[in-house]
Structure 1
Amino acid sequence: MTLPAIDPSTLFDVAGKSAIVIGASGAFGQVVCATLGNAGAKLTITGGNADALAELQGELEQQSIAVCSVNRRTNSEADCDAIIEAALGAFGSVDILVIAAGVNDVSPITDMSPERFQAVMLANVEGAWLMARAAGKQMIEQGSGGKVVFTSSARGKLGHPAGYSAYCTSKSAVDGLTKSLGCEWGKYGITVNAIAPTVFRSPLTAWMFGDDDNAVAVREGFLARVPIGRLGEPEDLAGPLLFLCSRASDFHTGHIIYADGGYTAG
């Protein structure tokens, strides 16, 4: 018997890789920066909040993580090209792209204006498409493959009764983008996948972790559908992220990875 020549110590190695993190100062963006940065990747971090971005850059530099920042959102082709140019100027290549930015706007569809709907689609879908387009061009030109990771949601698969018509639609579109680019870019060695969390601890969801009667009632109702029996923690997203950004996932593309404690399995 001859065992396969597998070295597990190198499967998840991203040291020296140039990674762009869109929406870096958000809850998931910080997970991305901590995970990839502490694994040795060089980070180009972006966001629309200049103060939050500067604070994050300072924290990363204190941990001796190589980082540059770009105070832009992915609202236009020019914005995305500028982000690519910054990454190239700082680190010479673009190897990994993680789209960690996104918004929600909760409203019954009958009360939501087309402008509000379009704002969600711009942030969650068009911005992701534009940035993937810019990064994909560079990765194809480099000729050495690459990793693209989108942020989807359990709500891309499941509906929601509380006014999520814009959000659910946008995340379903992200799933479609993941699958279509996974097919389109396979021949270039570029894998395209998405992480789809459900509720995990962040400033926006902190109330669900509270002890008041409303939080307890909502949490218990939600957890009745979660086989693992708890809400998510930021660390729960680190493992899937590192997998999707490393060569461990070289044969995985067009996939939606549900980091949801089994919520979508039931």
Structure 2
Amino acid sequence: MGNTDAFDLSGRVALITGAAGGIGRAVARALGARGAALALVDVRGPELADAAAELSETGAKVWSDVVDITDEAAVEGLLDRATDALGTVNVLVNNAAIGTHTAPEELELAVWQRIIEVDLTGGFLMARAVARRLIAAGGPGAVVNLSSIAGSTALGRGNFAYSVAKGGVNQLTRELAIEWASLGIRVNAIQPCQVNTPLFRTLVDTPGPDGPQLLARMVRGIPLGRLAEPEDIANAVLFLASDAASMITGAILPVDGGNLSLNAGGTLR
């Protein structure tokens, strides 16, 4: 009798960008625990080496590479090396992203361009490179893009460029899902609310009242009453990457504790 676990990823190769960060590591742990071989990618070499060492200790098969995903040639080379090391990548998690907290009228063009490059163009380049190889290999695959609640609603507070990029990620997801559906490549996205990562804590754990007040304001907008944890995001990625979601493509899944459902003028019971 064959394996009936729809979440089993044995024999699959999962490539995760931004793998050195809190969400990226959690995603890698979740996919590795279900049997996927892991290709970890980030621009931060020392942090990536630490993540690779941590994940190798779990028993997962791990390979890593330091690559700027906005460099077209570097992305193609990355996929060639990952394929040589682990086999055809059939799960891509586009997690790498950057942002700024700068008012639109003060935002420099170079900063705008870099955020769009990393958060949107980089995801396209990675998805295209993976899809080309999947098509050549004749195999199905899954792409999971990390969007944000900022892709559907405005956050203010200088999140302008990040929010616009994430709105683009949502439409990138829909278009690629339709373009590649007949090829067996599913493309979905996740929209997290604020996630309790080390990077996020640097924003809210600031001296004085600003950090705690900002954190309280964010949590008031999340009906379930807490921040998301990296594992919450990782579990949703595992679902969309696995055969449990084999009939799902083009979906933008909120993992936001009800944030997007809460009207700005609404109140909880």
Q: TM-score range by the shorter chain?
A: over 0.9
Distance in 1 separating the partners of 2:71 and 2:210? 41
Residue correspondence of structure 1 range 1-266 to structure 2 within 5 A? 9-207=4-202, 208=204, 213-266=209-262
Task: Tell me the amino acid that sits aligned with residue 265 of structure 1.
Answer: S
The corresponding residue for 2:266 is none
TM superposition shift of 1:53:
1.4
| Cα distance in 2, alignment partners of residues 188 and 14 from structure 1 | 20
Give, in angstroms, the shift of residue 218 of structure 1: 2.2
> What's the counterpart of residue 4 of structure 1?
none
Letter in 2 for 1:124: D
**1:206 partner SS:** helix
Instruction: Kindly provide the CA deviation profile for residues 166-215 of structure 1, in whole angstroms up to 9, marking residues without a partner as x.
Output: 11100000001000000000001110011111111111211537896443
Cα deviation per residue 1:218-265 (whole Å; 9 max; x = unaligned)?
222222221101111112112211111101111111111111100001
When normalised by structure 2's length, the TM-score is 0.92
Any conservation in 1 of the 2:141–2:186 contact (CA below 8 Å)? yes
Give identity over the alignment, percent: 32
5+ residue gaps, structure 2: 263-269
Shift of 1:217: 2.5
Aligned amino acid, residue 112 of structure 1: L
Structure 2 letter corresponding to 1:84: L
Aligned-partner SS, 2:198? coil
TM-score by length of 1: 0.93
Shift of 1:8: 9.7
**Take 1:216 and 1:263, find their aligned partners in 2: how far apart are those partners?**
19
Name structure 1 gaps, 5 residues minimum: 1-6
Q: Conserved in 2, the CA contact under 8 Å of 1:107 and 1:162? A: yes
Matched residue of 2:77: which SS? Answer: helix
What CA RMSD, in Å, does the superposition of the two structures yield over aligned residues?
1.8
Query: Could you say what secondary structure the match of 2:5 adopts?
Result: helix
Distance change (3 Å), C-alpha of 1:62 and 1:113: same
